[in-house]
Each structure stands twice: as C-alpha cells, then as structure tokens.
C-alpha cells in the first residue's frame, strides 16, 4: 500500500478546443509526496498522455483527494467519469449534475467562430443561432463533406473576401442565390463565378437606391402598417434597441416588432458590434433625441448615404444633424403639419404635442431635468479581492459581484486578478512607500523626537528660537559641507546580509553550521540556467559538488562515500496509442502485453546513504534519486539506457544539498539578479587572485565602469534613475573593496572607498539639483 497522499488531476478543456475537436473532460488519480510534487507530476502525466495537445488549451486542476470528489482507478486516465458532472469554475471542482434537471442546449457564440466556420454554419443551417451539438455537422462541410455541393459552396464563398466581410444576413442571401442558380453538380469555380455575378448586381442595386434617395430627398421606409406611437416607455435603453433593430439587412416595419429581428438586435448589442456601437454613440448624445418617433430613428439609420458611414465620425454627425433637421418627427405629432423641423444645430424648436411638450427654456423655479443615462448591464466574469488583499475571487454574474462588494470586497481588473493568483502582483502603494529615501525617513524620526526639521516642523511654533547666530551657523555648515569628508556608503549586499545573519547566531548554532557556511556559495562557472525542459531554474554541475565535498572531507571512499540501499523500477502511467476514425481522432487505446496485462511506463528509483567524517564525529544522510527509464514521447516509446547513472547522480546532489552544498541555489538566491551579479564578481576576484594580469584587468574594467556611471548620474533626468544607477554599481564596488581588505591590500581598499564616496557626492548633488528644478517648475 502506498503511504503517500492521493491527488486527483482534472483536465478541463476550454470552449475553443471543445468546439473545434469535441474534447471532453478527463481525470487521473495518482500518489505524490505533497501538492507541489503533485502539480509537477500532473503536468508531465498530461503531456505524456496527450502529447499532440497544447496544454494551454486545458485547465489543469490538481487537488488532494477528499470525500465527495470523484476519481477513477489510480494511475489510469478516465474520460467517462466526468460525463455526469458539471465544472464549477469559481470553486475549481466538479459538481454532480442533477438527474431531473433538463439539459438546455448551449448556444454557440457565432461571432467567435472563424470566418470559414461561420460560412459553413450558414450553408448548413441558414441561421446564426445554433447549438454546440449542431456544430460538428457544419464542421463536416470543411472535412469529409468538402467534395459535396454544400462543401463547394463553402469553399467558393470563402474565396470571396467582399462576401466574407458582409453581415450574416447578406451572406445568406448570396447562398440562397447560388442554390437557386447553380445545379448540384457544379464545383466551387463555377459557384464562385455565379457569386461574382450576384455581387455585381447587389452593388448596382445599392448604388441605384442611394442615388435615387439623394435625388428625391425623401424618406424610404418599408412600413406597411400605420404608426400609432410607441406602446412602451421610451428611454435610452429602448433607443439603443431601435438603432440595432434598424440595422437589420432585410425589410423592417417601424410600426410593429418582429420577434426574430428583436432577438437578432439583442445579439448585436450583447456582442457590442462595431457599427451599432458607433451609431449609438452619435445618436444618443443628441439633445432631446428621445422625443423623436420610431420611424424617424429607423429612417435615420436605414437611409444613410453609404453603409460604412459609421467609420467616419465627422461625416456621420453631419448626416444625423441634416437628417433630423429635414425629416425629424416628434412622437405624437402630425408628422409634417404640426411639427417643426430641427434647426441646423440639432436643437428642437418649441412645439406642443399631444403627449407632452418639448421646451427649450425652463422657468427659474423648475430645474431642468437631466437626460436619462444609458444603462447597459455589464457582462461577466468579474474579479474581486478582500479589503486586506489576502483573498481573491471571481464572480460570473453581476448579482454575485454586487453581493460580495456589499460585504466589503473591492472589484479588481482581470490583469490584477491573474497577477495576484500567480504571486507576481506588486502593490503600487507599497512600491511608492518603498521608494522613500533614507533621508526622508530620518527626517520623520527626527521630527518625532522633537527636533526642528525644515519642511516638517511648524516654523511658527514658539518653542523654536531663531537668532542671527543660528543663521550664521547655517551658512557655515553649508560652506563646510563640500569640504567635509563624507562617510563611506555602507551598502549591504544580499550575500553579505545572509552571512551576517549566520554570524549573529549563537555559538552552538555556528558550530552546527560550520560545514554549511563553508560550502553554501556556488561558483557560477559550474551552473547553467535551465528553461523549456519542464524545469526552470539553476542546474548545478554534479562533478563540482563532488569536488567541493572532496575539499571539505577528503578523497571519496576514505573520508566520505555512499551506499546504495534501494534500486528498483516504479511503474508509471499506462501506455496508450491514439485511435482515429476516417482521419479524425476519437480517443486513446491502452496497450497490453501478450497475456492481456496493461503496459506501464517505468521509472528508475535509487535510495542511497551518504556518510562522511569530520575531525570530531561521523554522520550520514539518506536521499533518493529518480529518472524516467521507459516512457512515451511524441516520437514513440523511448528507453533511457543511462537511467541508473542519472539516478545516482541525482541522489548524490540531493544528499550533499542536505549538508548545505550550493545552498544559495536551493534557497532561491540565484533567482535574484543582484545576488547573481555580486556572486559572479566575488568569484571572479577569487579566481583571478593568482594571476596578476587578471587582477589588473578587473581593476581597469571597474575604473572604466565608475567613470561611465559618474557621467550617467550627472546627466540623470530623475532622482529615481540616479539612485538606481548608484545602488547597482555600489554593490559591485563594495565586493571589490571587501576582497581587497581580506587580502591585506589596504591601499586599493582605500582607493575604492574614495571613488565610492565621490560617486555618492555626485549622486546627492544631482538629486538636489533635480529636486530644486521640480520645485521651481511647480
């Protein structure tokens, strides 16, 4: 029985891959030491099982097994288990679907389909409203049924960019045209030629209709029903609906509402379609626009001089102003007799109507009513955090967001949510607070102690005594400031800070850390940055760690060594192969041996005991090493003949790391750029100590860098730039200065202190100049 905890991996496909390939939810259960190892192993299991699938198209959720969570057989993939479960995206858990709940077919978001897929759907169903279970049949027109007559129509339309860019309703008109004109044995070239004829006729009709409207300057509507006024309360929301309704490509009647066109109008509002958005932005901002009747709004949109006028805001605004002035009709009026047209600036003349009045002036005692604001319900998902920022969450619906905000939570952006979730979020407030200089903090502390500080303390406070002697002392201080010797900047580096913490520990703790302190730093020459191999970080050369152990303990085999305690193979995931039907992937089939047993991947595991001797005592540690031996790749099954050697190397590195060897890597210090720069400089000095030419070269390079940085600071454009440039170089100079002191080269150490002091003066002077310039400009 495995004593490790059981973890479950749920692989949830996103909507795009579900629509494209019909992918389903799948799961696997496996043992791991902890959650971190479980997540790492889960990724490898998924890549090995579905090597042809991009893992970014799946949401991989790993959780420890608890009562109520479904899982199948251990170490076996199961794509049927979650068929009766829905996925709760907010909590990241599967939820059992109620048996009596009727499954409502899920509609496909037509606008999110690819251009070719949209055409296939229109050819297959002649509508934009389809469910996800209907999508595979349309997909067949692009694959197995591409040689049929509907498939040739899809290909012909796809090769006509002017038609592809049209609204779906126009594309359906083109499809109906070729179905009527072309026999079913025609191929896509003949169909494309017929579409070109339709396109020419369509363009000709559009130009004729536009020209006739320009000549006659009349409103052309398709209304066949007498208009008797709106039967609903009119506001900006219904105005936006009327604008969307009027964008329907076919005939519409302003006097009545067609349910199918109404649903279509709701769809383009939800999708925030470009043409509707720009029409709405220009129309709803007009003064008293709500007083115009429904046929005016329809005529305004449908009688535009050209279909793409919304792309030109200046031309569109001029057209709206002119149209409303000439043809605008007030709701409830007698269209032309009782109503006066708008003036050229878009304001209504005084006119009384049967349902009310539109006034251009109001009495002083009655405040003018503000125009009603456009209310559009926001669409999820929404993201929020607690007031303290320790927890984050997501709400798919607006009521849920309003509920948590009422409880004290704060809404945040999706970018901030993702950053907080991955641990990479930097609070701007904390950044601003962290940027305060030590001088400012010192001033605050001095003021708290009761000292007078310029800019903080109150000058009019009677306890401050200002005399001429004080003024003269102040002048004397300023004159002597430049000649006074500035203290050496005490820059505390990352490595030095760690060593200082170790030195401040009690004596018995320092004795225990004797080996650790002597081997904790790693020479960067024997490290390598690893990326793109499933592991990202710093890899240490194993031979380097063995060399360091020989330096500390002695030759291997005499003062230290290892003993193999366990050497075995651990079965991994079962092998499988993809199954295709008519070149379409339908699933995976498990591979079996001749006797019917499943074939599993093999992982080599090695356990060793590392022993060592010091001057006073003897000790030992245990460690494991592991290497995949036989596993599946995208090129087939692979067997690693050096698995035992790799496992032994892995076990040795793990055992030595327990004693502190290369601890700076395991502690994560190599992830800090400051530490890498400092460590590289320190080891470069140590490695060059025996070569006079290398020492001279390093010192010349440092002098050149000091000169360049001094020029950079003198020309800095902000105080932050001057501080950062100085701090970066100060770290390197301090390493060189301490190395010179350690070797007894006091003259060079004194020289570096002087250069660093001068650099600090240049920084302070530049910061002072920049601050004064900012105060003068303010």
pLDDT tens-digit map of 669-678: 877 777 777 7
Tokens of 524: 């960067």
CA 390 – CA 406 distance, rounded (Å):
18
Residue 620 sits in the same domain as residue 542: yes
Beta carbons within 8 Å of 359's beta carbon, 6+ residues apart: 350
Residue 628 sits in the same domain as residue 716: no
Is residue 339 a contact partner of residue 346, using CB atoms and an 8 Å limit?
Answer: no
Q: Does 156 map to a domain?
A: yes
CATH at 544: 3.30.390
| H/E stretch holding 630 | strand 618-633
pTM over 0.75: no
Mean pLDDT of 313-323: 87
Residue 80 sits in the same domain as residue 191: no
Rg (CA), the chain: 39
Beta carbons within 8 Å of 473's beta carbon, 6+ residues apart: none
Tokens of 600: 């599993």
Residue 691 sits in the same domain as residue 633: no
361-394 burial code (b ≥16 CB/10 A, e <16): eeeeeeeeeeeeeeeeeeeeebbbbeeeeeebbb
Q: What integer pLDDT is reported at residue 705 of this predicted model? A: 79
Mean pLDDT of 270-286: 86
Domain enclosing residue 708, as ranges: 675-777
Q: What integer pLDDT is reported at residue 611 of this predicted model? A: 94
Residue 173 has pLDDT above 60, yes or no: yes
Question: Mean of the per-residue pLDDT values for the chain?
Answer: 76
Please count the structural domains in the chain: 7
In this predicted model, what pLDDT tens digit does every residue of 721-775 receive, in sequence order?
A: 888 888 877 877 877 777 777 766 777 777 788 888 888 888 888 888 888 887 7
Q: Does 168 map to a domain?
A: yes
Q: Does 105 map to a domain?
A: no
Residue 34 sits in the same domain as residue 159: no
**Is residue 62 helix, strand or coil?**
strand
Residue 568 sits in the same domain as residue 619: yes
Q: Does 228 map to a domain?
A: no
Nearest to 297 by CA among 355, 227, 358: 227
For residue 557, is it left (φ>0), alpha (ψ between -120 and 50) or beta? left
**Is residue 133 helix, strand or coil?**
helix
Residue 111 has pLDDT above 90, yes or no: no
Q: In the structure, what pLDDT confidence band is assigned to residue 546 with cuts at 50, 70 and 90?
A: very high
Q: Does 251 map to a domain?
A: yes
Mean pLDDT of 641-657: 93
Domain final residue pick, 35, 69, 96: 96
CA 571 – CA 553 distance, rounded (Å):
38
Nearest to 228 by CA among 355, 357, 358: 355
Residue 307 sits in the same domain as residue 202: no
Q: What integer pLDDT is reported at residue 43 of this predicted model? A: 86
Q: How many helices (H) and strands (E) does the chain have?
A: 28, 18
Q: Does 626 map to a domain?
A: yes
Residue 535 sits in the same domain as residue 653: yes
Q: Does 668 map to a domain?
A: no
Residue 335 sits in the same domain as residue 245: yes
CA 709 – CA 726 distance, rounded (Å):
7
Tokens of 335: 């269209």
Beta carbons within 8 Å of 438's beta carbon, 6+ residues apart: none
Residue 201 sits in the same domain as residue 300: no
Residue 173: Cβ within 10 Å count: 16
Q: What integer pLDDT is reported at residue 332 of this predicted model? A: 72
Count CA atoms closer than 13 A to 555's CA, side-chain side. Answer: 2
Residue 627 sits at the vertex; the CA angle it makes with 621 and 631, to the nearest 5 degrees, is 160
Domain final residue pick, 183, 216, 249: 216
CA 262 – CA 260 distance, rounded (Å):
5
Residue 176 sits in the same domain as residue 305: no
Q: What integer pLDDT is reported at residue 440 of this predicted model? A: 53
Residue 332 sits in the same domain as residue 251: yes
Residue 342 has pLDDT above 70, yes or no: no
Mean pLDDT of 37-41: 88
Q: Does 501 map to a domain?
A: no
Beta carbons within 8 Å of 600's beta carbon, 6+ residues apart: 75, 571, 572, 573, 574, 575
CA 525 – CA 332 distance, rounded (Å):
87
């Amino acid at each position: 029985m495995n004593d490790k905890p059981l973890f479950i991996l749920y692989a949830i496909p996103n909507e795009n891959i579900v629509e494209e390939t019909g992918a389903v939810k799948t799961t696997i259960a496996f043992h791991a030491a902890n959650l971190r190892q479980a997540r790492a192993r889960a990724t490898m299991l998924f890549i090995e099982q579905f090597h042809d699938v991009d893992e970014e198209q799946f949401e991989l959720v790993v959780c420890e097994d608890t009562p109520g969570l479904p899982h199948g057989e251990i170490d076996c993939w199961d794509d049927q288990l979650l068929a009766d479960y829905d996925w709760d995206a907010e909590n990241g858990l599967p939820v059992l679907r109620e048996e009596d709940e009727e499954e409502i077919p899920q509609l496909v978001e037509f606008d999110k389909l690819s251009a070719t897929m949209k055409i296939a759907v229109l050819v297959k169903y002649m509508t934009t409203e389809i469910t996800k279970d209907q999508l595979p049949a349309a997909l067949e027109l692009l694959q197995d049924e591409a040689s049929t007559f509907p498939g040739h129509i899809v290909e012909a339309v796809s090769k006509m960019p002017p038609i592809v860019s049209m609204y779906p309703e126009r594309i359906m008109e083109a499809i109906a045209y070729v179905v009527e004109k072309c026999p079913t044995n025609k191929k896509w070239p003949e169909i494309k030629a017929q579409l070109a004829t339709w396109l020419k006729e369509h363009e000709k009709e559009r130009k004729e209709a536009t020209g006739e409207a320009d000549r006659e300057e009349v409103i052309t509507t398709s209304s066949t029903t007498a208009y008797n006024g709106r039967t609903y309360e009119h506001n900006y929301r219904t105005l936006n609906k009327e604008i969307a309704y009027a964008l329907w490509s076919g005939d519409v009647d302003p006097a009545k509402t067609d349910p199918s066109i109404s649903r279509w109008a709701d769809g383009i509002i939800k999708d925030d379609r470009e043409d509707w958005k720009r029409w709405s932005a220009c129309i709803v901002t007009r003064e008293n626009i709500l007083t115009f009747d429904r046929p005016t709004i329809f005529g305004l949109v449908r009688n535009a001089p050209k279909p793409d006028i919304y792309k030109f805001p200046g031309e569109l605004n001029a057209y709206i102003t002119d149209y409303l002035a000439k043809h605008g009709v007030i709701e409830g009026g007698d269209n032309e007799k009782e109503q006066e047209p708008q003036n050229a600036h878009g304001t209504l003349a005084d006119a009384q109507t049967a349902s009310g009045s539109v006034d251009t002036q109001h009495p002083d005692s009655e405040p003018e009513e503000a125009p009603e604001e456009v209310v559009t319900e926001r669409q999820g998902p929404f993201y929020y955090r607690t007031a303290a920022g320790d927890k984050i969450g997501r709400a798919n619906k607006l009521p849920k967001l309003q509920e948590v905000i009422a409880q004290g939570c704060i809404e945040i952006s999706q970018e901030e949510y993702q950053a907080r979730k991955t641990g990479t979020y930097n609070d701007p407030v904390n950044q601003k607070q962290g940027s305060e200089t030590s001088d400012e903090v010192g001033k605050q502390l001095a003021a708290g102690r009761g000292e007078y500080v310029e800019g903080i303390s109150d000058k009019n406070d009677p306890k401050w005594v200002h005399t001429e002697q004080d003024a003269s002392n102040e002048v004397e201080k300023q004159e002597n400031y430049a000649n006074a010797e500035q203290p050496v900047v005490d820059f505390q580096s990352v490595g030095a800070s760690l060593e200082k913490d170790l030195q401040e520990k009690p004596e018995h703790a320092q004795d225990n850390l004797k080996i650790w302190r002597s081997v904790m730093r790693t020479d960067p020459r024997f490290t390598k940055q690893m990326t793109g191999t499933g592991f990202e970080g710093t890899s240490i050369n194993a031979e380097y760690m063995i060399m360091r152990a020989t330096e500390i303990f002695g030759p291997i085999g005499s003062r230290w060594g290892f003993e193999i305690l366990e050497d075995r193979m651990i079965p991994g995931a079962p092998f499988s192969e993809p199954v295709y039907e008519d070149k379409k992937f339908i699933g995976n089939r498990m591979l079996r041996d001749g006797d019917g047993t499943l074939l599993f991947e093999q992982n080599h595991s090695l356990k060793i005991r590392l022993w060592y001797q010091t001057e006073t005592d003897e000790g030992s540690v245990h460690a494991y090493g592991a290497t995949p031996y036989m596993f599946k790749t995208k090129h087939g099954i692979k067997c690693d003949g050096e698995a035992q050697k790799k496992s032994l190397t892995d076990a040795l590195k793990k055992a030595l790391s327990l004693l502190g060897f290369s601890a700076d890597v395991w502690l994560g210090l190599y992830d800090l750029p400051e530490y890498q720069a400092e460590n590289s400089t320190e080891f470069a000095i140590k490695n060059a100590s025996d070569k006079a030419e290398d020492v001279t070269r390093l010192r010349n390079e440092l002098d050149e860098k000091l000169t360049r940085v001094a020029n950079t600071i003198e020309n800095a454009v902000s105080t932050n730039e001057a501080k950062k440039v100085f701090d970066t170089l100060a770290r390197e100079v301090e390493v060189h200065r301490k190395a010179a002191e350690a070797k007894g080269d006091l003259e060079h150490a004194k020289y570096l202190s002087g250069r660093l002091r001068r650099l600090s003066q240049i920084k302070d002077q530049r910061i002072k100049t920049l601050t004064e310039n900012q105060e003068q400009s303010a």
